[in-house]
Structure formats: C-alpha cells, structure tokens
Amino acid sequence: MVIGLVSISDRASGGVYQDQGLPALQDWLARALTTPFRVETRLIADEQPQIEATLTELADTVRCHLILTTGGTGPSRRDVTPEATKAVGTKEMPGFGEQMRQISLHFVPTAILSRQTAVIRESADHAALILNLPGQPKAIAETLGGLKDADGATLVGGIFAAVPYCIDLIGGPYMETDPAVCKAFRPKSAIRPAQGQA
C-alpha cells in the first residue's frame, strides 16, 4: 500500500509558517490503518499546473493507491485544488465531497463554501483514488473518521470507512483499519479473513 500526501499552501511551501497538514494526515493514518503502508509526501504551492503534475507523478510514477490532499479547496482566487484534481481524474466520485461537507456543517455554516472533491485516476495497469481534504488538522481527523457522541456511537460517518472498499474495486491492495479509529465497511462478500487466520 502506497499513500501519497500532498499539502497545498503558498505560505507553508514558502516557509512563512510550518505546514500542519502533512503531520495531521500521517498521524491519523498511523492510528487508523493496520495494513502496512508507505507514505510519499509533497508540500507545494497553490499553482494548478504544479498540483496537476504532483498528482500525476504520485499516481503514475510512484504508483500510489491513495492520494490525500489538504488545502486549496475554498472559494478564494488561489484555491485551485479541485480544478487540478478534476483535470487529472478519469472518474469523479462526488459522494466523498458531499459527505465531507455534511460532516463540517456540524461545526461551521461556512462548510458549504468548501469545494472538496474526489476522483479516480486510471492508467492501463494502475488506478489511484485522489481525495481533497480540509486544511485544518482537527477538520482532517473529523472528515476522515467521522463524529461520535460521548458514548462512542457514530453520529456522522467519516469518509474513510468507504476508502478500503473503493481501493478494492479499482484493483488496489486489501486495506484494513482499526475499528476503534475508523471501521472500514465492505459488503460481506468482499470481506477477507483477518491476516493470520484461516
């Protein structure tokens, strides 16, 4: 399993302040995934050609199965992550963006200003799922893992629950998660025995 992480920020990439997106993504994945994985990270500016080139490189050359971006999804002039993502995708996956906004709306009414999206990029022998995530570390964790009440019951499902099965469907490796962080959902027919079990 190879996962690409891309933080898109003019100021962080320019050294004005320390990037928080990549550490937040790495921390959440380390807690959530029980399947071994390798991470490729990139910190780049809000420039559409550079974003497109980075996503293409991670999908086609590095051969990432999953690429998570953070930043650049708002309505301002410099926010072009969704445009770059759609430009390199071969299939749009709008349900991810819809669910991300539903989660964020529990906290801020401005969640409707977010343009987060998702695509699949396919080549002859490889495919990658690319997801645009929010920029704030707290919002990243909420979006991926969902919201739980004080008793631990799920209030709103996080988007990552659907990611492992999506990776299955596009021909990627079988990904397993820690249910305490995020319970992956698969139809019964798609569930494999846990590693080490017959």
User: Does 198 map to a domain?
Assistant: no
Q: Which residues pair with 146 in a beta bridge?
A: 157
Q: How many Cα atoms sit within 13 Å of 190 on the Cβ side?
A: 16
* Residue 137's CATH number: 3.40.980.10
Which among 34, 26, 27 is positioned nearest to 6, based on CA atoms? 26
Residue-number span of the structural domain to which 145 is assigned: 2-190
User: Does 196 map to a domain?
Assistant: no
The domain total for the chain is 1
Q: What is the pLDDT of residues 108-162, one digit of tens each?
A: 899 999 999 999 999 999 999 999 999 899 999 999 998 877 887 778 889 999 9
User: Does 195 map to a domain?
Assistant: no
Q: Give CA torsion, residues 60, 70, 117, 166, to 10 deg.
A: 60
Q: What is the pLDDT of residues 21-60, one digit of tens each?
A: 999 999 999 999 999 999 999 999 999 999 999 999 999 9
